[in-house]
Structure 1
């Protein structure tokens, strides 16, 4: 068999089946074949490391597995000068595996988009809550964050039995809650909610950029970048700015 043919086979082999497929070529002593085997064995080792990392991130899903529907909750957009605050609520199937799932801040934009699609495909239920800049100004960002989370929970198609939250306890919610410090890096359910919220808000800010291109929302997502602040000082705020956040710039 030609080396290119072997490479094609290995490239198209499911990662978990790499050891058995690689073993079938191990007696082929050509240097090119041995290099291919070594490369894909390294890839398999990285896969095992990733499974181990994900197993650690399921500590609380395992701890509370007597609950039928465990929901992760997280938000994005507390700090920006403009745009909404967005919360995600995600119920994953028990013992699900979504490779490279992590806190959205630790994942590249390209990876987040891929994870978003996989989460939406595999999740038992997903809810998204959005609270506008106007409401943020009216009730303050903390209360707006809580409201976004309550909206996300209400939008779930399945009623959760337990909420795993990233470092908050949500008022006016009757479901049992567990607050985890840095929960988006410790729970796959919260990490999934983080990804859903982040991708949703980033897409919204990209659309707002088309309406208000001077502020660079497609790049800064509403945070106070130099370009954003310069535009604020030069032309003033637009309709999606949080008036209570921009007092020092206008």
Structure 2
């Protein structure tokens, strides 16, 4: 054991597949640097156990409705911004998934959201996202536009729909969910599928949280593209939300084509 340098042991911790094994291997090492690494590993192990417990609690609704084979979580992002579309995500996770750190997308860092976005896309049974435009929001109001985005996302999961990721999701992979877990809404246009509306669902259901993350990453990416087209509004940072700088830009330059006219009436 002593033949290994502290730097080598540190690298082992960074790459450790099993924290308990690392702790057991080096706990007797009396070198100060190694003791610090063991303490760090113990803290990481405690944090990991807490996260696993949190995720298990977030599987409450998925377990409660375990008789349903395909449970789909649905959530939206972008109801409040002054500009840009509203985006909905729909995700069916496998029953035995072990994805950690799923949560309300707003509570995650951008880096963690992007990391989880890739994990969800890779490990899900099926997923889809959908936008409803600012013009449509102005036409039918944000609540109805949110529901419309959710329905559009769900329908992209169904047999015959165009796959969002053609390399992974071919026509045979399209599925029809047995149950919808939805963040705070009911979709009356889908009477043939059982629905469960959950207040703050993105904090209480892993499926809804996964949908929230996909929708957030998708919408943020679009708003970053819009920032290149309409640079004066700061869309890359504010994502269309009504920051002071964004409001001042509207007052100075007027609205652009992706502003929601029904949201900025007091600024134009």
TM-score bucket of the superposed structures, by smaller chain: over 0.9
| Paired position in structure 1 for 2:204 | 186
Give 2:215's aligned residue.
197
Shift of 1:30: 2.1
The residue aligned with 1:167 is 184
- Aligned-partner Cα distance in 2 for 1:24–1:33: 11
Superposition CA RMSD, Å:
1.0
The answer to whether 1:6 aligns with 2:9 is yes
TM-score (norm 1): 0.96
Shift of 1:32: 2.0
Distance (Å, rounded) in 2 between the aligned partners of 1:4 and 1:227:
47
* Alignment match, 2:240: 222
What displacement does 1:28 show?
2.1
- How far apart are the structure 2 equivalents of 1:64 and 1:74? 18
1:10–1:22: 8 Å Cα contact kept in structure 2?
Answer: no
1:170-198 Cα deviation digits (max 9, x unpaired):
12112100000110000000000000111
Deviations for 1:26-84, whole angstroms, at most 9, x for unmatched residues?
A: 23222222221111111111100100010000000111111111000000111111110
1:239 match: 257
Q: 1:107-128 CA distances to partner (integer Å, 9 max, x unpaired)?
A: 1111111111111111111111
SS in 2 for 1:129: strand
The Cα of 1:8 is off from its aligned counterpart by: 1.7
| TM-score, normalised with respect to structure 2 | 0.90
Aligned residue for 1:120?
121
Task: Report the Cα distance in structure 1 between the residues aligned to 2:36 and 2:249, rounded to whole angstroms.
Answer: 54
Written as runs of structure 1 = structure 2, the 5 A alignment for 1:1-250 is: 1-14=4-17, 17-156=18-157, 157-173=174-190, 174-250=192-268
Unaligned runs of 5+ in 1: none
Count, aligned residues: 248
Question: Offset of 1:227 from its aligned partner?
Answer: 1.5
- Contact preservation (8 Å) 1:146, 1:171: no
